[in-house]
Structure 1
């Protein structure tokens, strides 16, 4: 209600913003993740856009031996490096993550590919590490041509769990709706095993 009446005026832009990175990092550290279902036949995961490791934090509760490589922005990699272990590492490039894992059982990405300027090239690069399975979540798919738009969210809605501050800001970034045909064709050598609609996203607006 407060945000509706007193919309934050200060705007920060882009996923390299220090304040945004710090918010996601702190919320990830504080968040008590619930256990996911066990990762069957998965020993290594390349998590594209995995923030400060929130998906690993949930997965390890049921699959404690899984090895997890997060590919993120340089700013997030620098901030999250103190969370790294012998089973969780952070990398700026896909090939670095794949080399550390040795082999990749699963490529996982939740809501990140839409913010990548060259999304189709990135998808092909992820396919090139030859994971057994690729799992995409929250990918905006267009029936026609791809299109770009400016998305806004509240700073407090970024990262897992509740807000850690009473002072909020607006975050702006560009995202891409991908052509369905181009998205599927980028996965040469793979077949679609399951698909469904994306859930509604909390605290976002498009313009």
Structure 2
């Protein structure tokens, strides 16, 4: 409710995911957050490359199911610099897919939640991730459309980042960022050597075909 009211009264607007205010907001909320719920698909998974995983909120949930999982987050340079304070033997942050893959070695799962559509070329990024050759790929909160869409999104700063218990970080700033859609057909075609295991309106799980497994 507060965010809805503030949308009518933004005092200023910041641009994109590299802005220090947005990075700070997401970092603080991630530190404070204690995710609940189950993630059964992550059980028995040893290594995960998390594309667009911010400051590691998905890792905080995953380790409830797989305490020893090694987790590599690929993020923007600004997010990586901030999140480096949270690194452990099992959680690391990287600016490139190649660096994350090198640290992990063998990758059991590539995971991405609501991130690829904010890259300059989403389908090319999907191809790069599929090219890593992980046995499984899990996508959530995708932006599908039959016709290509490019839009400027706007939200309030306090709406960004995970939900966290405790004091609400008050701000009247707005945030804008670009988002690009892609069709389901071109998205699936970018997964060379994979088949769709299951899917929904904005999510898809892929498994690598045995004949092409690395």
Tell me, yes or no, whether TM beats 0.5: yes
Report the Cα distance in structure 2 between the residues aligned to 1:80 and 1:126, rounded to whole angstroms: 22
Local SS of the residue matching 2:50:
strand
Could you tell me whether the CA contact under 8 Å between 2:44 and 2:66 is conserved in 1? Answer: no
Distance 1:35 1:67 in 2: 20
Give unmatched runs, 5+ long, in structure 2.
Answer: 204-214
Q: Is the 8 A contact 2:55 2:79 kept in 1?
A: yes
Q: Residue 63 of structure 2: which of 60, 63, 72 is its match?
A: 60
Q: Which of residues 160, 167, 188 in structure 1 aligns to 2:162?
A: 160
d(CA) in 2 for partners of 1:105 and 1:26?
29
- For the 8 Å contact 1:35–1:62, the answer to whether it is kept is no
Query: 1:180 matched to which residue of 2?
Result: 184
TM-score, structure 2 as length reference? 0.87
Q: Which residue of 1 aligns with 2:111?
A: 108
Name the structure 1 match of 2:30: 28
* Counterpart residue number, 1:4: 5
SS of equivalent residue, structure 1 residue 178: coil
Q: Runs (4+) of structure 1 moved beyond 3 Å?
A: none
Q: Which consecutive residues of structure 1, in runs of 5 or more, have no partner in the other structure?
A: 200-207
Alignment match of 1:197 (pick from 187, 198, 201): 201
Task: Show the counterpart of 1:139.
Answer: 142
How much has 1:35 moved relative to structure 2?
Answer: 4.5
Equivalent pair of 1:47/1:69 in contact (CA under 8 Å): yes
Query: Cα deviation per residue 1:83-112 (whole Å; 9 max; x = unaligned)?
Result: 001100000000110111001111000000
CA RMSD of aligned residues (A): 1.6
* Equivalent residue, structure 2, for 1:99: 102
**Conservation of the 8 A alpha-carbon contact between 2:70 and 2:104:** yes
Query: How much has 1:143 moved relative to structure 2?
Result: 1.4
**Partners of 2:38 and 2:73 in 1: how far apart?**
18
Please give the alpha-carbon distance, in whole angstroms, between the structure 1 residues aligned to 2:194 and 2:172.
Answer: 42
Matches of 2:171 and 2:149, distance apart in 1: 33
* Distance in 1 separating the partners of 2:106 and 2:78: 26
Is 1:85 equivalent to 2:74 in the alignment?
Answer: no
Q: Is the contact between residue 27 and residue 164 of structure 1 (CA under 8 Å) also seen in structure 2?
A: no
Q: Work out the CA distance in 1 between the residues paired with 2:183 and 2:34.
A: 36
CA distance in 2: counterparts of 1:108 and 1:20, whole angstroms: 22
Give the structure-1-normalised TM-score: 0.90
